[in-house]
Chains A and B, each alone.
Chain A
Amino acid sequence: MHSVIRIILQRLALGLLTLFVVSVVIFTAVNMLPGDFAQAILGQGATPEAVEAIRKDLGLDQPPITRYFQWLGGAIQGDLGNSFAQANFASFVGADSGVRTTVAQQIAPRFANTMFLAAVTACIAVPVSLVLGILAALFRNSVFDRATNVTTLTSISSPEFFLAYVLILFLAVLNPLLPSLSNIFEGMSFGERLEKTLLPALTLTLVVTAHMMRMTRAAIINLLASPYIEMARLKGMSPMRVIVKHALPNALAPIINVIALNLAYLITGVVVVEVVFVYPGIGQLFVDSVKIRDIPVVQACCLIFAAAYILLNLLADILSILSNPRLRHPK
């Protein structure tokens, strides 16, 4: 078989295995709750009958392994169970309306929103960081390079909410250019939606760009000592052309890798930013569910975050293999 395909298949299998083990870890962690879910929902003063009823209703009377495979099987088919907060336990007082919000129904629109935010961020951050990285490599050790170095280091190390509030202060409160609350609902026009998403996206851009730009600069500068760069310089190429034509294509593997890793980071960083801007994404749902201990939602969100993280890391791995010509054209 072609060696590249074999490597990629290996990575894919490894990724799936990791995902499986991660789901076991999440499930075990959740099952370490004292007592069980039923007790957790009803609190201290619950009657044993009510606890028993909920336990039966949620299928908690079955052994953990059975429950794990039921949960996993459901998750693969898109059924993530019922949310505790939304599952109306009205049925236990005899007034079941028959309507139950499943976790999947709760997550689906928010997941789309989060993806939209991540996509907008990526559209701004990737070109900006590439251009800045190339410029910093071109004018290395100049005032420009040092200024960008200090600025990016500052923005990497600041907490997301600090950047978010500074942006809110300058772009929403003092100069009302953008809305500081991202109340997105269905039926909004694309432009309106974009406007509301822009401020959270800019915050995430600040966090992510810094990292990508520094890696781009480092990857290019690493190559500048190579003989073929020396050759290109000696034949009188302009510094810009040397970097764009000769250095950049060879620096692509680490750059793609770091872009994919940062997109993976976006998935995590999104939690705090969504809370600041009250953006109706999956991160906010996650934090809210953590606070009210809505276990099925926490479990599902955790699995989705982990899956996205693993997939993007896998993508980074595969892309960096593909961008290596030695692996693409084996002798």
Chain B
Amino acid sequence: MNTLLTLVLILVMVAAGGWVFRFAGQKVTGNAPAFRDMPFAVAFGYVLGACLLLFSIWYFFQPTTTEAGVPNAGVVFFRWAVQFFIIAAIAAFLFRLLGRTVGTAGSRKLFRQMPLTASFGVLVVILYAFTAIFAAWIAPHGQEEIFAKVNVLPGGNAATGGDPLHPLGTDQIGRDLLSRLIYGAQNTVGIAFVTTCLAFFLGGSLGFLAATLQGWLDQILSRAVDVLMAIPSLIFALLLMTIASAWAGSERWLLTIYMIIIIAVIDSTRVFRLARAVGLNIVVMDYIEAAKLRGEGLGYLIFKEILPNATAPLLAEFGLRFCFVFLTIASLSFLGVGIQPPLADWGTMVRDSAQFINFAAFSPLTAALPLLAAGAIALLTVGVNFVVDWMLHRSSGLKE
């Protein structure tokens, strides 16, 4: 109740501050139009923003440990978040600068129009791809390598229960967590990528086929897709995974293969819809008519005539679908039915280390572990979404 009262009091004070700010502005600038026509809400917003900024700066410079020697966990986390944000912004800016000076004329032009968020997204995607491909060289240990020391705390400081050999510590059976985090990029991202490609191959080819042939094939495929789309995808995936787990029996790796197929099929329905819609707009074009009159086969029509003209919308959709598949796989693994151990995977890591979050007040580093794995998932999807958002914005033209 007390917190609520304080909050209301602060809001009232900010509101008063907003009024004073506008009034003072009007008086000082001699009724400049910017202040004269300023709605109260805008003044309120400015003052609120300024207050939040000031509070953040004050909070940032609070000591990280209290007088009693206990870490001030709130400040520690806040500093990490702010530092990450600033580093990310600087990295994105430098990356854009690099893109503007190096490369072909086309790529330089692309980087010139790019907002900071999109360049951040591109940078994130490149970093993840690099980590995923070269995981074996980057990771200090193997993903299934078991060490004698179990439950080593993160930090690498021997005095606080860490070990310099394992900067992020080890898990309950002694596997190096940093290595598993790096290998997680390979497994989680790699599997999601393969699944999305499969979904696009399935959905795209069937969608174009339906658009080109039309008639009964189109009807059957479209109605089947309607039915599959009426079941929420995560629920359907879980149902099918139950059955797949019975089929796979004790062979865990088989379950991962089944998962790829199941999610690819479920997701291909969305791709089918888009591919069919885009395809229908293309098959009425004159050049398709010309190709048909030339006597070209179905394969030529689909791959040489329709596909090149449908790449732009399909590419943006690929980004979105990848995010969706990636999140579905991460959720399934988090729920314990996705990617199976001993493969390192972020969703499973979050689930296994989730209880550490309760120790945040005593040891912020330990509590950061589940957030690190979950954040690794979030960062990639956020990055891809930033890029896709920019691509869609560009292709839709600049509407107000």
Contacts and interface: CB of A to CB of B under 8 A. Distances in A.
The bracket for how many chain B residues form the interface is 35 or more
Given A33-B246, A162-B375, A168-B357, A271 B235 contact: yes
Nearest to B375: A162
A298 B239 contact: yes
B387 to A, nearest CB: 11
A22 B374 contact: no
A180 B358 CA distance: 9
A150 B383 CA distance: 11
Interface string A275-296: 1100000000011001101010
- What DSSP secondary structure best describes chain A's contact surface? helix
> Which of B117, B323, B331, B335 counts the most chain A CB atoms within 10 A?
B335
A34 B230 contact: no
Interface in A251-276: 264, 267-268, 271-272, 275-276
> Which of B240, B242, B370, B374 counts the most chain A CB atoms within 10 A?
B242
A161 B73 CA distance: 21
A21 interface: yes
Interface stretch (A2-10, A24-32, A75-83, A96-104): A24-32
A306 B232 contact: yes
Contacts of B233: 268
A221 B399 CA distance: 9
B226 A286 contact: no
Contacts of A153: 117, 382, 385-386, 389
Contacts of A221: 399-400
A175 B74 contact: yes
B367 A173 contact: yes
A154 interface: yes
Contacts of B389: 153
B117 to A, nearest CB: 6
B334 interface: yes
A159 B330 contact: yes
Contacts of A313: 230
Interface string A22-61: 1001100110111000001000000000000000000000
Given A169-B357, A169-B371, A158 B336 contact: no
Given A161-B350, A174-B77, A306 B331 contact: no
A47 to B, nearest CB: 20
A306 B230 contact: yes
Nearest to B374: A162
- What DSSP secondary structure best describes chain B's contact surface? helix
B382 A22 contact: no
B55 to A, nearest CB: 15
Contacts, number: 166
Interface string B356-400: 011011000001001100110110011011100100000000011
A291 B338 CA distance: 11
Nearest to A26: B239
A272 B331 contact: yes
Nearest to A168: B357
Given A159-B327, A268-B235, A275 B382 contact: no
Nearest to B323: A157
A91 B103 CA distance: 76
A303 to B, nearest CB: 10
Nearest to B3: A177
Interface in A202-232: 221-222, 224-225
B77 A169 contact: yes
Given A33-B246, A153-B382, A309-B230, A174 B235 contact: no
A323 to B, nearest CB: 23
B229 to A, nearest CB: 10
A290 B235 CA distance: 10
Contacts of A92: none
A103 B238 CA distance: 18
Interface string B330-351: 1100111100000000000010
Nearest to B370: A165
A89 interface: no
A310 B230 contact: yes
A69 interface: no
Given A159-B327, A267-B232, A293 B245 contact: yes
Contacts of B241: 290
Contact of B231 (A161, A238, A291, A306): A306
B39 interface: yes
Contacts of A158: 377-378, 381-382
A148 B42 CA distance: 15
> Which of A139, A144, A153, A221 counts the most chain B CB atoms within 10 A?
A153
B39 A156 contact: no
Contacts of B361: 173-174
Contacts of A306: 230-232, 235
A165 B74 CA distance: 14
B74 A32 contact: no
A310 B232 CA distance: 9
A62 interface: no
A225 B39 CA distance: 23
A-B CB proximity, top 8 nearest: A162-B374, A158-B378, A268-B232, A157-B381, A157-B385, A173-B360, A305-B235, A162-B378
Interface of A: 18-19, 21-22, 25-26, 29-30, 32-34, 40, 135, 139-140, 143-144, 150, 153-154, 156-162, 165-166, 168-170, 173-175, 177, 180, 221-222, 224-225, 238, 240, 264, 267-268, 271-272, 275-276, 286-287, 290-291, 293, 295, 298-299, 301-302, 305-306, 309-310, 313
Interface of B: 3, 39, 41-42, 45, 49, 73-74, 77, 117, 226-228, 230-236, 238-243, 245-247, 323, 327, 330-331, 334-337, 350, 354, 357-358, 360-361, 367, 370-371, 374-375, 377-378, 381-382, 384-386, 389, 399-400
